[in-house]
Amino acid sequence: MDRQPAVTIEAIIDAVRIIAPAAVRTPLLENHALNDRLGRRVLLKFEGAQRTGSFKFRGAYNRLARLDAQQRAAGVVAWSSGNHAQGVAAAAQLLAMPATIVMPADAPAIKLANTRALGAEVVTYDRHSESREEIATALARSRGATLVPSFDDPFIIAGQGTAGLEILDQAAEAGAIIGQILVCCGGGGLTAGIATAVKARAPDIAVYTVEPADFDDTARSLASGVRESIASDARSICDALMAPSPGAMTFPINRALLSGGLVVSDDQVRDAMRFAFSTLKLVVEPGGAVALAAMLHDLAPSCDGASVVLLSGSNVDPAAYAAIIGGGPA
């Protein structure tokens, strides 16, 4: 486990084998009302159907399943605003190991509650004044536990990349030729994994990140060629996408493989969540709706072939969701 393997298509194929007993092969959906509205074919990869309600379980299980007996006994420590937290907690529960998760005190209550319900210890912090990485690292060191980053880890990235292989297989089953894939982006682990898988099999497919306007560090980093950071006062309803900068491991992968980065406003995200509810009949959390928002607001480039949109998660507080669906700001 000390060796840091490269993230390759072979590593992603191996991750498929590792997670197969526990993970869900999530659906690739098509909605004719969406196609008619946009005048193009769109396929929706719905990761809200994944275990714990987001794609994060893929990488978490792939990472934890590789720990040896001694490491499992010592447990794991992770940091997360909620989706990685639940993924790690669920994987740890399945693999019978203790888990401690460092979470922001203002994380959605449903994410805090679900993480605790999965048996993990939750340690809260102030996301605006404290470093989650420093807190988690200190906890892991003091307990002899394994640190499980939310995106900057080769096994995490490879696990997320399994969604990319599923997309290719499911699109072929649907008779669709993919032109581009839009992926929601925080630290870039999901994008890096999907881009690695897709480009190895179909190098002509364009892959784009989509981020909230005040957390557009990957889009700016792709433009500048260096890792950019977000402003200290940045805010967004997309709690799952609040990474302060692209990952040291994920960004070189994404810089080499991506076609660009798209940016959406919180109001566009709210519109997408309402559309997902009313037309697609899907519950999508704010961070999970950014790629759909880019499509609905004509921000995605034109392409030959179908566009694939990642709906990355469905973990949203009921009260906030009701306010958004009802037309309020939330």
Catalytic residues: 56, 312
- Residue ranges of alpha helices (H) inside the chain are 9-19, 32-38, 56-64, 69-74, 83-94, 109-117, 132-143, 154-173, 189-201, 217-224, 250-257, 266-275, 290-296, 318-325
3-state secondary structure (DSSP) of residue 100:
strand
Question: Per the structure block, which two tokens stand in for 108?
Answer: 């959605």
Answer whether 155's CB lies under 8 Å from 63's CB.
yes
> Which positions ≥6 away from 78 have C-beta within 8 Å?
60, 84, 85, 88, 99, 100, 101, 102, 136, 147, 148, 149, 150
Which among 132, 127, 120, 134 is positioned nearest to 87, based on CA atoms?
120
Of the chain, the end-to-end C-alpha distance in Å amounts to 42
